[in-house]
Chains A and B, each alone.
Chain A
Amino acid sequence: MAGLEVHIGNLKLKNPVMTASGTFGYGTEYADFIDLERLGGIFVKGTTLTPRQGNDYPRMAETPSGMLNAVGLQNKGVDYFVEHLYPVIRNYDTYMIVNVSGSTIEDYVACAEKLADLDKMPAIELNISCPNVKEGGMAFGTSCQSAAQVTREVRKVFPKTLIVKLSPNVTDISEIARSVEAEGADAVSLVNTFLGMAIDVETRKPKLSTITGGLSGPCIKPIALRMVWEVFHAVKIPIIGMGGICNWKDAIEFILAGATAIQVGTYNFIDPAASVKIVEGINSYLDRNHITSVNDLIGKMIV
């Protein structure tokens, strides 16, 4: 058995496979399908300071090799999370990491402060890349200045591992990555969804209530992979790669491009056990190729 442990900030992940926020609920939704403790970590649903009802239905449209969503950060707020959800998930023997979103910098800071107090909450993922909310979200992640500012302010109140989730809807993702690294981010995760849309030709109406939404699934994988590779050459902090990962081969590709760990997202909907199969697949690949540790593969694409 090869060494699968990887490090992100202060986190010692038992393996590099995690699940992406917004696709995995609070983990418990998948407890019938897999042993959650076999995962390196679980990024739970995007959480905001106050409850959000999310966007109107319809929120989803299937697209070639992927889907658009416009959920809009529906969640019951951080206080509900702390009181009702955290007690249920805190005892799992894997990292449970909250994805934090907000409309203002004050929102992000207040939410992060509340989470910093939880003993079994070793990290947060700062979501400055949600394309489906009118205010905040992606707006923070599309300029170096605002990305740096929100990272700086949250860093002041959150002493544990701080991961910043980047938007691909930018001219140069490396610049954004460098700017959050400079403000003390411990890692970056990329990519969030690509802004897209779909139209019903019979009704001539948009398929999403919000007209535009976030595109995910295997259709975005080549672009996400390219962005991970670019960011790998731009920053020194570890990268958590994601975008259309469906199997162990996809995961190894991201690791070779420079990701220290990966997240499985949309494909959880098609195969709820995909993440655990990927752990097994990575292990077999390493054994087969006589690679003693997955760390030896990070960024080791041969050119």
Chain B
Amino acid sequence: MQVLDFIVRTNEALNDQNHLLKVAPADGVTLPEMFPGQFVQILVDQSSHVFLRRPISINFVDPEKNEIWLLIQKVGEGSQKICSVHVGGIINLIFPLGNSFTLPEKKGKFLLVGGGVGTAPLLFLGKKMKDNDLDPEFLLGGRSGKDILQRTDFERYGTLYCTTEDGSMGEKGFVTHHSVLNEKKYDFIYACGPKPMMVTVAGYARDHGVGCEVSLENLMACGFGACLCCVEKTVRGNICTCTEGPVFNITELFW
């Protein structure tokens, strides 16, 4: 873990709700190795209404350009402010934080399920799986086609299935209703997105005897295990999602 200033190299609005920031260490230092599922804590502006840092998933790491990609949804004042940082501006990160998704040890059929901005860590995971000769498939959901973010990036690493609530792209409905879940038998599922989605995916995995990891987004203050605010009730008791997670095997959870 370290605290470091990053320069914003690009800030692209992917739709009216989401921005993709590509950031690199301001002093040019080489990024340490990072793993899919890890996150950063972004210092915003310390104004009275945005006092705490904001935890954001690592969307992708580009070692050649020495860049971290951060996919940010404008949900409140803090995330709005992060999205409004200009190219060339500086943001301060504590990184890398948390554990990571477990890469499969042997080949098989793997499905990465994401909803909304919860798709963010799955791009980095898909890339790592592809690098390891494991063929990931992606199932991404959104309200409409414009909410399915980074489609061409995902398609680079594996087959992409989509659902939209308005039917404007892929199958109509929620990801958890997609036909691929009935047609194919997967060996492992990774999920990140709204909690109701993850709970349903976890239920599917349990019912079908499929292993499953989910990435939680509990509210947190510090991000490195000091405040004990972000706990999840697990078979090991109340444990911090920032240090013991954010990725949990569903066998540890009570949902």
Interface residues of A (CB under 8 A from B): 22-25, 29-30, 32-33, 45, 53-54, 56-67, 69, 71, 74, 217-219, 266, 268-273
Q: Quick check: which of B19-27, B101-109, B223-231 contacts chain A, the rest being far away?
A: B223-231
Would you call A29 and B238 a contact (CB within 8 A)?
Answer: no
Q: Is the CB of B51 within 8 A of A62?
A: yes
List chain A residues, Cβ under 8 A from B223: 269
Contact call A33/B229, Cβ cutoff below 8 A: no
Cβ contact within 8 Å between B2 and A33: yes
**Is A269's CB under 8 angstroms from B52's CB?**
yes
A57 adjacent to B233 (CB under 8 Å): yes
Question: Among the listed stretches B9-17, B147-155, B214-222, which one makes contact with chain A, having 4 or more residues with CB under 8 Å of it?
Answer: B214-222
With A23-B226, A57-B231, A60-B227: A269-B53 Cβ-Cβ less than 8 Å: yes
Q: CB within 8 Å of A: which residues of B?
A: 1-3, 43, 46, 48-49, 51-53, 94, 218-233, 237-238
Most buried by A among B3, B218, B221, B222: B221
Shortest distance in angstroms between A290's beta carbon and chain B's nearest beta carbon? 32
CB<8 Å pairs between A and B, sample of 6? A25-B225, A32-B1, A53-B238, A57-B218, A60-B230, A69-B221
Residues on the B chain within 8 Å of A65, using CB: 48, 51
How many angstroms between the C-alpha atoms of A37 and B219 in the bound complex?
Answer: 31
Assembly CA distance A65 to B45 (angstroms):
11
Closest 7 CB pairs of A and B: A60-B229, A269-B222, A32-B1, A25-B226, A65-B48, A64-B48, A29-B226
| A64 to B227 Cα, complex, angstroms | 18
CB distance from B230 to the nearest CB of A (A): 7
Q: Which residues of B lie under 8 Å from residue A74 when comparing CB positions? A: 228, 231, 238
Extra contacts besides A57-B238, A269-B226 (17): CB < 8 Å: A23-B227, A29-B224, A29-B226, A30-B226, A33-B1, A33-B2, A59-B229, A60-B221, A65-B48, A66-B51, A67-B51, A74-B238, A217-B51, A269-B227, A270-B43, A270-B51, A272-B94
* Distance A54 CA – B237 CA, assembled complex (angstroms): 10
Q: Contact check, B3 vs A272: say whether CB atoms are below 8 A apart.
A: yes
Select from chain A the residue with minimum beta-carbon distance to B43.
A270
Return chain B residues, CB-CB under 8 Å to A273.
3
Chain A residues in 8 Å Cβ range of B228? 22, 45, 54, 59, 71, 74
Q: Write the nearest CB–CB distance from A34 to chain B, whole angstroms.
A: 10
**Taking the nearest CB of chain B, how far is it from the CB of A129, in angstroms?**
18
Which of B48, B228, B237: most chain A Cβ within 10 A?
A: B228
Q: Which residues of A contact B48 (CB under 8 A)?
A: 64-65, 219
For B218, B227, B231, the residue with the greatest tally of chain A CB atoms inside 10 Å of its CB is: B227
Given A58-B219, A60-B219, A24-B226 contact (CB < 8 Å): yes
**Docked pose: A273 CA to B1 CA in angstroms:** 12
Question: Which residue on A lies nearest to B46, using beta carbons?
Answer: A270
Q: Tell me how far the C-beta of B240 lies from the nearest C-beta in chain A, rounded to whole angstroms.
A: 10
Q: B229 to A69, Cβ gap below 8 A?
A: yes
Please name all residues of chain B whose beta carbon is closer than 8 Å to the beta carbon of A45 when the two chains form the complex.
Answer: 228
A67 lies within 8 A of B94 (CB)? no
Contact yes or no, A69 B227, CB < 8 A? yes
Interchain CA distance A139-B48 in the complex, whole Å: 31
Closest to B78 in A: A62
Q: Which of B2, B49, B52, B237 contacts A67 (CB 8 A)?
A: B52
